[in-house]
Structure 1
């Protein structure tokens, strides 16, 4: 029997983006996730999965045949330099500028960058400033 591990404990359990051009999104997300240190958890002909984000085609069983539209997702970065690398890597991998790296007025120390992914979703990397996490994540294990 196989054991699967999931890491949970943040605000969102999961998000699914249903996209028209999975290969363009696969290139974009593989590049920016590598920059952000987020491993790809699974990939197939009609999906890509990393952490709490599942990206699929409309033909995927999980998509119910419908595109999801446009969304805003923000990924945590470890420092300002990682936000800068996210922006440059994402542009090189097919993203479109939607806000260059810089401080934002949301709270003191908020440093973010925004890109539109190939499907038109607004994707952000943000560094909130010096902070201490109680844990990186919560691990959930179950038998398959």
Structure 2
């Protein structure tokens, strides 16, 4: 029997979205990340990034000329007010409502808002409430 320890904290190394209109996407993500307290990492000809999200045009080398499909990305919010502000900022910067801020039935305290970004990706801000804020260390046995 083999025992592996999984590191909990940052599951995703990075995600790339390939978009039709980089300027519209950059305006949208700068606004919602500003509300969420996530600084923009940088930008260049045909791309920008923040934290582990890399957004580029189809003309970028990494995109290989193809737009990405529709995705659901959920970003953590520090409280309910931040979820509300995320929703407002998203709508003011090209997002479309896909679920107003409110409690969801996923677990007690799950408070979220959903918007579609300029490319139709389902973007969520979620606050899990006090009961779900800490994640335990996990050991997996195979």
TM-score above 0.5, yes or no: yes
In the superposition, the TM-score normalised over structure 2's length comes to 0.86
Deviation at 1:12, TM superposition (A): 1.1
Report which stretch shifted further, 26-35 or 124-133.
124-133
Partner residue in 2 for 1:138 = none
- Offset at 1:42? 1.2
The Cα offsets for residues 101-122 of structure 1, whole Å up to 9 and x where unpaired, read as 0000001100000000001100
- 1: distance between equivalents of 2:49 and 2:34? 13
Q: Within the alignment, does 1:64 sit opposite 2:64 as a pair?
A: yes
1:9 and 1:58 mapped to 2: Cα distance?
31
SS at match of 2:27: helix
Deviation at 1:35, TM superposition (A): 0.4
Q: CA deviation at 1:69?
A: 1.3
Greater radius of gyration (CA): 2
TM-score (norm 1): 0.85
1:124 and 2:124 equivalent?
yes
Which residue pairs with 2:22 in the alignment?
22
Q: CA RMSD in A?
A: 1.4
Partner of 2:33: 33
Q: Cα distance, 1:133 vs. partner?
A: 6.5
1:75-114: CA deviations, max 9, x gaps?
0000000000000011001100000000000011000000
How many residues align? The count is 127
Pairing 1:1-144 to 2, within 5 Å after superposition: 9-130=9-130, 131-132=133-134
**DSSP-derived class of the 1:65 partner:** coil
- Partner Cα distance (1:23, 1:110) in 2: 32
